[in-house]
Amino acid sequence: MNTSTIQIERNRPARRTGAGAPNVVIREACDRDGIVLGHLVANHDGTPEGIVAAARRATQRMFDSFADASNVNSRIIATDAAGKPRWSVSPNFAVIEELAVA
């Protein structure tokens, strides 16, 4: 998968243990009631700018794919090089926060 590729995984159960794909942004598309519509994935390069760019690509694809998607109710998470969830991105892309992982 190259850095411009975005995939949609509709209602596929999330992995709860272990690492996922390295250096990806995952956008969980939800409607206004919080119902999960699907997941969109975009590669990033590990930099804050790359994470935001990938989040923007995933968000654009979310709105193109799901007419009833809610920007505020749809989470954005980015994984690190090991595939572990590491950052949360705000819906307006202004804030990237490191997740508190125990």
Instruction: For the chain, give every domain's residue range.
Output: 6-98
Helix (H) or strand (E) holding 89: strand 85-89
Give the pLDDT confidence of 16-72 residue by residue, as tens digits.
445 689 999 999 999 999 999 999 999 999 999 999 999 999 999 999 999 999 999
Phi, psi angles (nearest 5°) of residue 30? -125, 155
| pTM of the entire predicted model | 0.79
Q: What is the pLDDT of residue 20?
A: 83
When mean pLDDT is compared across 12-16, 54-58, 88-92, 94-98, the lowest value belongs to: 12-16
Handedness of CA 62, 67, 69, 72 (dihedral sign): positive
* Torsion angle in degrees (nearest 10) through CA of 99, 36, 42, 17: 50
